[in-house]
Structure 1
C-alpha cells in the first residue's frame, strides 16, 4: 500500500499510482457497453480475469486459464463507516496500462526480478454517489485485485465482501487459521474443508490461513495477500461448511482506520502449474519498492543456533563460544544467540566471534521492543556491541496495530543497519522487497514443533512460495528422530530462507562429516529456483515428494524430500543447461549418509534410492578437466592477536589515560587493508581521543602493528566503568563483497565514584528478577524491558530509581568509595493495592546492612538510610513478603549513594 498516490475521485474519475513504474504504458478506454470486462495476461491470453457487474450492482471476479475456469465468479466490494460499496454500483470509467517491475532482492528464490502485468482500473459509483476503484492485475503467474477509496480524512473499513469461489470438488491443502501460523495443513477438498472441525470454527464457519492451495482441473491456485502495512490489517479466509466460497475476513473481525485516500492490500491468486507456483514472485512484484537505498550492509547467510538442540545453552557464555568456534571453522556467517543471553557477556561474545569472521544475531522477545522507548534503548545498544541483526519473537497477531509496530521496527532497524528475522510472526506479504533487511519470517510449524514429513512436502508448495521461511532445519541428533538423515540435510535447500538457522549442535554435525562438507557450501540466496519433480498430492506409490533445484552462480543445489515408504526418487536434469556437469549426490545408505559423484548432461535423469521419510541433496557444477568435486574452498579468519597495554586503567573526570595496542599475525598469508583505531563514536559525549589511526596496506606474518592514543575523560563524566574499544579491521581473506574482519578488545577505564551517584545509572554486577528485567528509572511493568511506568509509591512519583519484582537482587560495585545509601522504598501504585514485599541492603560477602518489614500495596514509601562506608559490593534485595511473587512490584525510589569527592 505504501507509496501509492491516489488522485481525487472527482470529475474525471479515479487514477492509480500517480508515479507509474518504469515501462508503464497508459491505455485509457471508454466504458464497455456490456457489464462484463476482461483483463488478459500481457502478450498472450493464457490467464485472464473477468469482472462482472450484475443487475443489482454487485461485482464478481472470475479467473480462467486458457479456456478453463479456475476461480468461479466471487464477490467483490467493501464497506466503510460511510459507504456500502458492495451493491448498487455502476461503472464510471476504465483505465488500462501495462506495468513492468524490475528490481533486485537481497533474499529469496531469485535475486533479479522482472515482471510484466496488465492492469485495469475500474471506477464505480455507489448508490450514495461514493466512488470505488477496483484495480485488477494479471501476470503470467497470477491475478490480483485491490480497492481504492478516495475519502479525505480518516477512512474506516468495516469489512470486505471479497470472496474467492472454488469448485467444491477441488483438492485443497488448508491450514486452520491461528495468528502464529503454526497449525498443520490438511489435504481435503474445497467443500469438505470444515469436516475436520479445526479449532478455529464458529458454528458452520471455519477460518483458514494464507497461503491456501487448491487444484482445479489440473491448475493450481495459491490464495494469499500482498502489500499489507500499518494502514490496514492482515486477513484470513472464512469458509461455510459445504460451500464454495472462501471469504476475506479482517483480523479479529475488527475494522481498520487510516488516512484517506486508501489503497487496500492486494487479494492475490498465484495461478498455474506447480512449477509456476514454486518460481512465482508475484507477492513481491505487488509490493512497494525498497525503502532502503543502500543495501550493501545486508548479508544473508547460514547460522548455527543452539536453542533447538541445547535449550539452556543461550544462557551459557562458554557454550555459545563453542557454537562460534564451529561456525568459524566451517565458514558459517553467523551464530544466533537465543533466549537466555545476558547483557553482561554478550559484548565479549560478539568481540570473540567477529575476530573469527563470525557475526552474532541476538534474540528478543517482542515485549522488550514493543514501544519506541524500548527500541531506542535496546537497538542502538546492541548495534554498538557489534551485533549484526536481531531475531524478534512472539508477535502472534495480524491486527492493524501489530502491522504498525512492524512499520516502526523496520524503520528503526533500517536506520541502524540491523538485519532482522521475525519469529512468532505473520506470513510475509512482500515485506522483503520493501524492507530488504528482513532476512526471514517464521509463520510456520517448523522443526521445533516435531517432525512431520508430509508437512514438509506441503510447505514446499504453500508457505515457502510466498517468502523466506524460518523453519530452522537440520537436526541430525534429535532424540527419536523419525525422518532420515538425507531428509534433514535436504531441508535447507528445499526451504528458502535468507538466514538459515541450522538446528543441530557441533557434536551432532561432526558425527556426519559428509553433511558438514555440503553445509559449508550452502548459499541462502538464489539466482534461479525450479521445481524438478513432485507435488503435494500422494504419488501412485502412495508417497509424496518434492525435488527443488536452486542455482547460485554457476552451481546448482538440489534438495529432494520424501514422505512415505522407501522409494527411488527421480530428478530430470533438464534445468542444468548445455554441456557436461559434475554431480555430487548425498543420500541415505543403511542409516548413514553416502556421497557419490558422476558426470551427466541435461538429458539425464538422476535416480536416488531413498529411505522411508527420506531425502537427498545434489550439488552440480560444470565438468572441467581434472575437477573431482564442486566444492569451493572454505576460507576462515586467521588467528591474529591484538593486545592492549594497559588492559585496565583509572582516570577521573577531565583526566587523561594512555592506551597502547599491538596487532600481529603469527603465521599464514599476509593481511591486506589493515586499520587500527580507537572507536571514538562509542565513547561518551565530552570525551576526546588524540593519536592517529595506524594503517598497513599489507601486513605479513610476524610483523607487528603498533598504535598509541591518549583518551581524555569528559569533565562531567559520573563514576563507573567505561569500555574504550580498540578496533582492527582487515580485508576478509575470502575476498568478494564480504565485510572486513573486525578484531576488537576494550580497555576497562574506571572513573572513581564521586559525589551523588544514582543506583540506576550504575552497571549491575549481578541481576535477577522475579518477572521480566530489572527496570531503571521506571516501575517493573510487564515482562518486557523498558515497559514500566514512572516509579510511584503512595502517590509520590520518583524520577530516579529501580523497579523490581520479587524475588530479585542486583549487585553494584561501590569501589569502597561511598559512605551512605538512601532510598524511598515500597510497592508501586500500578499494583492497585496488591502485593507484599521486603527490602534488604547487603554489603560485602552478603552481610546484611538493613532490612524492612513487609510492605504492602497502597502503603506509603519507607525511607531507608544505610551506612555503606568501605563497602565494595552493594546488594539490593527484594523478597516476596512470605507469600508468592504476584503483584510484587517493588520500587527503590531515588536510590542514591553519597561517595567521596
Structure 2
C-alpha cells in the first residue's frame, strides 16, 4: 500500500485516492483488497472466494472485522461476487448545526466505491467512507429491490470489554458491562461500545429514515460476532443506511460527529426560528400538574424569573386552557411546548388539523411519545411528521423513540430525542457515566436531568447539577419542581448559566464504568461537568482545553449534608493546571471558566427578562355573537420600560374579518399608552362554539433576542343550531371536551389513546350501543340554549380495564351541580335523570375518585336529552 502523507490542511488520504480514474471492467486487473485511509484509521475491503469482508485498523492495530453483503428476493449479494470497477474520491462535509456538541463542522472523508456483480450479473455497489473518527459503509442497488436481510456483521475479540444495551424499540434498558464474547445470546441496540486494547469502537448506524428499516445487533453466543438484523422481515429500498463504527480513543469516540457527518444534509434552509434552550417540566416531580392550568402558570413564572426558554406541558393538558397559558407565557418571554401520544398524529389528516391548530395557539414545539418501533413504516411516519412540523415551524422532541441517526442534521428542528433510560426511570448513579460514552455520542439525549428532591436521590446534588454539561441536549428538560430548585439557590444559579448548545466539546477524563469529565465551550466560557460512580474519591480534570492566559474558574461542589445545596468557590488557573476535587459517593462537580481580569469575581452573565406589560381589551368577558354580526373591540397597551417597533393589531379568526388599522409606534416610552379600535365581522360560515379573537402587541426590547409577543383574546361564542326531540348526546356537537387519556369516544369505550380505537360500551357485562366513553378526569360541554328539559343516562366503569378504577360522575347546568354520583366502583350501571330546564349549557364531568386516574374508564351509556 502506498505510504501516507499529511496535507497542509491536516487531511491524510491514501495516495492515488484522489485520482477518481475509472478503468473499464474489461481492462481491470484482478484485485483482492482495497484500502481506504484517513489520519490513522484504515479500512481494508477484501474479496475472497466471492465473499466480502472488512478489516478496520487504527495506527496499524486491528480493531474489528466483519462480513459484508446483502440478500434480496432476486439475488444473493453476499457470495459469488466479483469486482468490476472501483472509484475513489474525498468527501468534505461542511455544515452548521442548531444543536449538538460542536456548532460548526468540517469533516474530510476518504471514499471507496466498489462495483460488484453476482449471479446473473446482479449489481451492488459497496460504498466505504473513512474519517479520522471511524469507518462506515453502505450498499447501493441500481433500482429498488425487496431486501430480505444483510450479511453485515462485526467481529470483535472475545475478551474485549463491552457496554451493551439489551434491545427494545424504545432503547430504555439498563446497559450491561460484559465482554464481546461473554454477552448473552440475543439482540442488542445501537450504539454498542467495545474496548479493544488501546482503542474503542462504537457501533451504530446513520442516515436511517423511511427509505429503510432500523436495525439491531444479534450476538452469537460464545463468539465476538454481532450480526446486523433488520426490524422488518423485508424492506423495499435501493440503498441501505450507513453501518457505522466510530473508532479511536475515548476522546475521539465521545467527541465524534461521524453519525451527523454521514447523514443527509438539512432539508430546512432557514433555521432562524429554531431555538434550543432550558425547559421547565412538571410531569416527573408533580405528576398530575400537566392537567392543572394554575400549576402550569407557576412553572411559567419560574421559567420567566430564571430566563429559561420554555415550559413543557406533558400528558394531561387541555385544549380549553392551553391557548390562554400560551398567552400568559409569551408575555413573560416563555414559550410553551406540548406533549402528544404519536397516535394523535399518525394520519395525514390528523397532522394537517392538529398541528396547525396548536401552531395557531402560539405553541412553539411538540413532544411526540411512544413510537416504540424501528420498522420502515414507523420511520416513514417520522419522515412525514418532521416535514409537517418543519413547514409549520414547530420544533420537535421525540420520546419513546429510536436513537438519533443523524436526523438532527437532516431536520435541524429536532431539539432532542429520548432513547435512554433517563431520570423518569429512576436509574442508579452507576448507570450514568456510560450514557456519555454511548447513547449521547450519537445525538442530543433527553435524559431530563437534575433531580434534586424527586426520584431515588442516590446521586449527590453536585452530580445532578453536573449532568447538563456531561449530557448534551438541545432542549434540557429539567426534572424537578420550582420549589426544589429554589431550595437549592446555588444549584439553580449554575443551571441558569449553563447553555444547551456548544461550540466545542472535549472529553477531559473518564471511563464508562467509573465516571466522566467533560468540558464544553459556549461562546467565550467553558463549562465543566464531572460525575462519578461508586465510592468517594478525588476527581481530577487537567485544564489543557483552556487557551493561554489566566482563567477565573468557579467550582460548584457538594456542600454539607446529604441533600444540601452546592457551594461555590473560585480561583485563578491556567491551562497548565489540574483541577482536583474531592467528591462524595456517587458525586461530582461542575465548574465555569472565563477569562480573568482585574476586579472580575464571577463568570455569571446577567439574566435577561422581558419588560412587564399590560394589554387591556374590551369586551373583557365572554360575548355571544351570531353569524353575520359585527361588534367592536378596543385595546390599550403599555410597558414598564422603553420599547421599540411596537405593533398593535387584532387578528381575524378563519372566515371572519377585521376592519380598522394596525397601530404602530417606533418608540413607546415606559408608561405611555398605545390604543386601538377595530370592528370585527363574524363570518357567515363560522363554526359554532367558542371562537377567540386575538389582540396582539409585538415589540423589540433591549437585550432580548426575540421579538416579544403579548396577546389577549376576546372570547366569543357562536351558538350551534337549537336541539329538538330526544337526541343522543353522542350525536350532537360538543362545545368543548377534555379527557384524561385520548379523546372522548362516541358510542365506544375510550380504550387506548388513539381516536376511534374504543370497544363497545360495556358496564357490568351489559353492552350499550349509544353513549360516551371517557377517561377521568374528563369534561364534555353541550349547548342546550334553553331548549331542553331533561338529561338521562346510565353511568359506570367500563369492563375493558383489567384492574378496578374509581370515579365520580357529575352533571352541571350553567355551572351549577345538578347531580353528583359520589364514589363509583365497578358494578351495574347507575341511572341518572336530571332536570335541565332553561339551561344554556350542559356539562358532564368525571373525576378520578381521589386515588389517581389509572383504570378510570368511565361510560355515559344511553346518554340522551329531551328537548
TM band (smaller chain): 0.7 to 0.9
- In structure 2, what is the equivalent of residue 421 of structure 1? 397
Q: Contact between 1:102 and 1:115, CA under 8 Å: does it hold in 2?
A: yes
Q: Name 1:585's counterpart in structure 2.
A: 555
CA apart distance, 1:593: 1.3
Corresponding position: 1:518 with 2:514: no
* Aligned: 1:653 with 2:627: yes
Partner of residue 145 from structure 1, selected from 114, 124, 137: 137
Who is 2:851 aligned against?
Answer: none
1:756-767 aligned at under 5 Å gives the runs: 762-764=733-735, 767=738
Once the two structures are TM-superposed, the CA of residue 805 in structure 1 deviates from its matched residue by 4.9
RMSD: 3.5
187, 205, 208: which one aligns with 1:228: 208
Q: Does 1:739 align with 2:706?
A: yes
| 1:237 equivalent among 217, 224, 230 | 217
- Provide Cα deviations, 1:711-739, integer angstroms capped at 9, x if missing partner: 0011233543211110111124333xx32
What is the deviation of 1:807?
8.6
Native 8 Å contact 1:39 1:50 kept in 2: yes
Q: Of the candidates 348, 373, 381, which is equivalent to residue 372 of structure 1?
A: 348
Write the distance in 2 (CA, Å) between the matches of 1:90 and 1:721: 70
| Equivalent position to 2:840, from 849, 853, 872 | 872
* Mapped partners of 1:452, 1:148: distance in 2: 43
SS of 2:316 mapped into structure 1 = coil
Once residues 507 and 808 of structure 1 are traced to their aligned partners in structure 2, the CA distance between those partners, rounded to angstroms, is: 26
CA shift at 1:764, angstroms?
Answer: 4.1
Contact 1:373–1:786 under 8 Å retained in 2: no
Structure 2: runs of 5+ lacking an equivalent? 1-16, 763-769, 801-808, 821-831, 848-853
Q: Does 1:37 align with 2:40?
A: no
TM-score by length of 2: 0.87
Question: 1:235/1:175 Cα in 2 relative to 1: closer, same or farther (>3 Å)?
Answer: same
What residue number does 2:119 align with?
127
CA contact (8 A) 1:878 1:890 kept: no
Q: Hey, what does 1:612 align to over in structure 2?
A: 585
Distance across 2 between alignment mates of 1:569 and 1:824: 67
**CA distances 1:348-400 after superposition (whole Å, capped 9, x unpaired):** 11111111100011111122222223223321111111111111111111111
**CA distance in structure 2 between the partners assigned to 1:240 and 1:104 by the alignment:** 40
1:69 to 26, 47, 62: 62
**Residues 141, 874 of structure 1: CA spacing in aligned structure 2 closer, same or farther, 3 A cutoff?**
same
Q: Distance in 2 between matches of 1:223 and 1:119?
A: 19
Counterpart CA distance in 2 for 1:427 and 1:755 is 52
Mapped pair 1:573 → 2:543: yes
Q: Could you tell me whether the CA contact under 8 Å between 2:736 and 2:780 is conserved in 1? A: yes
1:827-862: CA deviations, max 9, x gaps?
9xxx9xxxxxxx99985655589xxxxxxxxxxxxx
Q: How do 1:89-168 and structure 2 match up within 5 A?
A: 89-151=81-143, 155-168=145-158
- Alignment partner of 1:80 is 2:72: yes
Q: Distance in 1 between matches of 2:694 and 2:447?
A: 37
- Structure 1 CA distance for aligned equivalents of residues 759 and 631 of structure 2: 38
Structure 1 residue runs without a partner (length 5+): 1-22, 195-204, 538-543, 794-800, 832-838, 850-863
Deviates more, 1:359-368 or 1:423-432: 359-368
> 1 CA distance for matches of 2:234 and 2:473?
31
The answer to whether residue 708 in structure 2 is matched with residue 708 in structure 1 is no
Of residues 725-734 and 510-519 in structure 1, the stretch that sits farther from structure 2 once superposed is 725-734
Task: Write the deviation string for residues 59-111 of structure 1: whole angstroms up to 9, x where unpaired.
Answer: 10110112111113x11111111111110111111111111111111110011
Give, in angstroms, the shift of residue 821 of structure 1: 9.3
Counterpart CA distance in 1 for 2:217 and 2:310 is 37
The corresponding residue for 1:854 is none
Counterparts of 1:761-800 in structure 2, within 5 Å, are: 762-764=733-735, 767-768=738-739, 772-775=742-745, 782-787=751-756
Give, in whole Å, the separation in 1 of the partners of 2:199 and 2:370.
36
Structure 1 equivalent of residue 766 of structure 2: none
Listed one character per residue, the Cα deviations across residues 426-475 of structure 1 (whole Å, up to 9, x for unaligned) are 11010100011111010001111123222111111111000000000001
Report the TM-score when normalising by structure 1: 0.84
Q: Alignment partner of 1:167: what SS? A: coil
Aligned length: 814
Q: 2:778, 2:501 → 1: CA distance? A: 46
Q: Is 1:307 matched up with 2:277?
A: no
1:678 aligns with 2:678: no
**Contact 2:752–2:758 (8 Å) recurs in 1:** no
CA contact (8 A) 1:662 1:705 kept: yes
Of 656, 659, 684, the residue aligned with 1:690 is 659
Which of 195, 216, 230 is 1:215 aligned to? Answer: 195
Q: Is the 8 A contact 1:781 1:788 kept in 2?
A: yes
1:145 Cα deviation after fit: 0.3
Give per-residue Cα distances to partners, 1:662-706, cap 9 Å, x unaligned.
1112x3x311221111123xx021x11011111122211110011
User: Partners in 1 of 2:862 and 2:415 — Cα distance?
Assistant: 41
Alpha-carbon distance between aligned partners in 1 of 2:102 and 2:379, rounded to the nearest angstrom: 26
Could you tell me how far apart the structure 2 residues matched to 1:223 and 1:655 are? 65
Distance 2:685 2:126 in 1: 62
Task: Say if 1:25 and 1:437 are closer, same or farther in 2 by CA, change over 3 A.
Answer: farther
Q: What is the CA deviation profile of residues 171-216 of structure 1, one whole-angstrom value per residue up to 9, with x for unaligned ones? A: 111111111211111222111111xxxxxxxxxx311111111111
Is 1:748 paired with 2:715? Answer: yes
| Correspondence for 1:640 | 613
Cα-to-partner distance string for 1:103-150 (whole Å, 9 max, x where unaligned): 111110011111111111111111222111110000111000001112
Q: In the alignment, is the contact (CA less than 8 A) between 2:646 and 2:666 conserved in 1?
A: yes
Q: What displacement does 1:257 show?
A: 3.1
- 1:12 maps to which residue? none
Deviation of the 1:892 alpha carbon: 8.2
Give the drift of 1:873: 2.4
Map of 1:861 onto structure 2: none
Alignment of 1:542-553 (within 5 A): 544-553=514-523
**CA 1:812/1:594 → structure 2, altered by over 3 Å: closer, same or farther?**
closer
Counterpart for residue 571 of structure 2: 598
- Separation (CA, whole Å) in 1 of partners of 2:275 and 2:139: 36
Q: Is the 8 A contact 2:22 2:86 kept in 1?
A: yes
Q: Tell me, what secondary structure is at the counterpart of 2:330?
A: helix
Contact 1:823–1:892 under 8 Å retained in 2: yes
